[in-house]
Amino acid sequence: MVQLDAVPRPRPGADILGVSRGSAVLELGCGKGGNLAHVATLGARAVGVDLSLAQLRAAEARWSDTAELELHQADALDFLAHCTDTFDAVFSVFGAVWFTDPVRLLPAIRERLRPGGVLAFSQRPPVEGCYGCQASYITRSEDEDPLVVKRWDYEPPRWTRILRQHGFTGATAQVLPAPVGPRKTGTLLVRATMGPATL
Ligand SMILES: C[S@@+](CC[C@H](N)C(=O)[O-])C[C@H]1O[C@@H](n2cnc3c(N)ncnc32)[C@H](O)[C@@H]1O
């Protein structure tokens, strides 16, 4: 994906999402909207959801001259439960998919994906031996305790199994190497398409 965002973060690219002019695309946990803005510049309808009003305000400020974004402040599960639209692709870059129980989230995403639609997400690979729901500590200021949030970490074969169990087909999951530079941790990239339910 062409880098519109100032923060380099490995992400599902437009080719992985199959985005083209007229596609409807949803990002779960869009943050400041760099990835979503890129999707919009490809001619897709770009819908973003994020819990954080501050992030969404920053997205509006950054991209209002560049790209038309539909931004919603909501928890990803709540948004999916109330949304009546369907999407050609749903994606998440170190976003809400990482921070939501897949057992609840994947059925909700399925409800909003068109047949053959794509789900793709990226996140940090699991720490060896630490699988399932993990506590994640997010540093704030020096004066504040870190924020503790839950995140869901699995190895690639487990992700493909979970996706299959929730009716997704052609699931792939791989750890991409870190780009050249100081960062040593790769990126887990997961992709699947919406198939018939198997549950
Ligand atoms: C690490 S940031 C990544 C933002 C963006 N995807 C990027 O690559 O720059 C994670 C974002 O996910 C949002 N988020 C986390 N859990 C969420 C949830 N359950 N529903 C909606 N947004 C969520 C956070 O508010 C935050 O903006």
Position 184 confidence tier, pLDDT thresholds 50, 70, 90? confident
Cβ neighbours for 56, distance < 8 A, ≥ 6 positions apart: 30, 33, 48, 50, 71, 72, 73
* Nearest residue by C-alpha to atom 13 in ligand 1: 29
What would the pLDDT profile of 41-89 be if each residue is shown by its tens digit? 999 999 999 999 999 999 999 999 988 999 999 999 999 999 999 999 9
Note the pLDDT of residue 6: 43
How far apart are the CA of 95 and the centre of ligand 1, in A? 4
75 lines ligand 1 (CB under 6 A): yes
Question: Is 192's pLDDT higher than 80?
Answer: yes
Q: Give CA–CA dist 122/130, Å, rounded.
A: 18
Mean pLDDT of all residues belonging to the chain: 91
Encoded tokens for 79: 């948004």
Residue 173 has pLDDT above 80, yes or no: yes
- Say yes or no to pLDDT of 28 above 70: yes
User: Mind listing the pLDDT tens digit for each residue in 113-123?
Assistant: 999 999 999 99
Q: Angle of helix 156-165 relative to helix 102-112, nearest 10 degrees?
A: 50
- Tell me how far apart the alpha carbons of residues 149 and 16 are, in angstroms, rounded to a whole number: 28
pLDDT > 70? residue 9 = no
CA of 195 to the centre of ligand 1 (A): 26
Domains of the chain: 14-194 (3.40.50.150)
The residue whose CA is least distant from atom 24 of ligand 1 is 29
Please state, in angstroms and rounded to a whole number, the distance separating the CA atoms of residues 184 and 80: 34
The residue whose CA is least distant from atom 9 of ligand 1 is 31
Running DSSP on this structure, what letter comes out for residue 44? -
Cα–Cα distance between 28 and 52 in angstroms, integer?
12
pLDDT in tens, 117-149: 999 999 999 999 999 999 988 787 888 888 899
Better pLDDT: 1 or 91: 91
Within the chain, how many helices (H) and strands (E) appear?
6, 9
Q: Are 95 and 119 in contact (CB under 8 A)?
A: no
| Closest atom of ligand 1 relative to the 11 alpha carbon | 8
Query: Going by DSSP bridges, is the β-strand pair 147-153/132-138 parallel, antiparallel, or unpaired?
Result: antiparallel
pLDDT on residue 11: 58
CB-CB contact of 31 with 76 (8 Å): no
Residue 1 predicted with pLDDT over 70: no
